[in-house]
Amino acid sequence: MKKTWFITGASSGLGKIMTAKLLARGDQVIATARRTEALQDLLNAHADRLHVVLLDLLDTARIRATVDHAFERFGRIDVIVSNAGYGLFGASEQLDDEQIERLLATNLIGSIQLIRASLPHLRAQGGGRIVQVSSEGGQIAYPGFSLYHASKWGIEGYVEAVAQEVATFGIDFIIAEPGPTQTNFAAALDLTPPSGCYQDTPVGKVYHLIANGEFEIRGDAANTVDAIIDAADSSHPPLRLALGSTAYENIRRALTERLDSLEARRDIALSADRRGD
């Protein structure tokens, strides 16, 4: 059975690869992007099943209007893919306010508003699925990516709560968590070189790995997209889906360390309870 997908950030990276794969198998896609010309090749080949829309997630009113129009035009949308976003690197205190506000407005607030705009329509049609493209950075942290992590940890917490709110309506979520993957993420990265006292810190070390192209990237973009599509097609998808060996290893290590730390302080945690009157 052919599906209809709504994908943000479809002009490049995972979003464009996903759009191409879905069109190739015969599905219908509403693809949104800030650079719609980047989708012209796919539009030329699939004009009957690809609908391209200009959308910037900084514009909340436009998000709502675009989602409303998509459901009105196509009747039913099976899967919403919240994929748009980018990375920001730099020592936290050396980032400027505009960088921080733009990143959070795009990665966090924009994703939240897309989901909020979609929920009434998914309820009305009796259910649906939302894929939130996050990152291994939604559960772990690298120095220099503090604000990026804030956006990803934030959207994962939001989705985990909303998934419980709407499960009774037949709406479910997948949080996709790719590790470093061969996409244009690095090219689009807002990169602030560390200066002064931060040059010889972990921030500086990570910066030089990125700047010199030495940051290890194991993930394959096409395989990552295949795994996301397979999960979205499944009858009982996982809430979280780690993608790539780096993501698996890093998330497993972080969760294990976190659980060990929690258990080591069990007595302290329990001591904070009220005692008998």
Domains and CATH numbers, the chain: 4-246 (3.40.50.720)
Query: Consecutive 10-residue runs of the chain (277 residues): their mean pLDDT?
Result: 95 95 97 95 95 96 97 96 95 96 97 98 98 97 96 98 98 95 77 93 92 83 96 96 96 98 97 87
Long-range residue pairs from 19-28, CB within 8 A, at least 24 positions apart, any chain: 19/50, 21/222, 21/225, 21/226, 21/229, 22/229, 23/49, 23/50, 26/2, 27/2, 27/3, 28/2, 28/3, 28/4, 28/74
Residue 130 near residue 82, CB atoms below 8 Å: yes
What's the pLDDT score for residue 277?
Answer: 65
pTM value is 0.94
Active site residues: 134, 148, 152
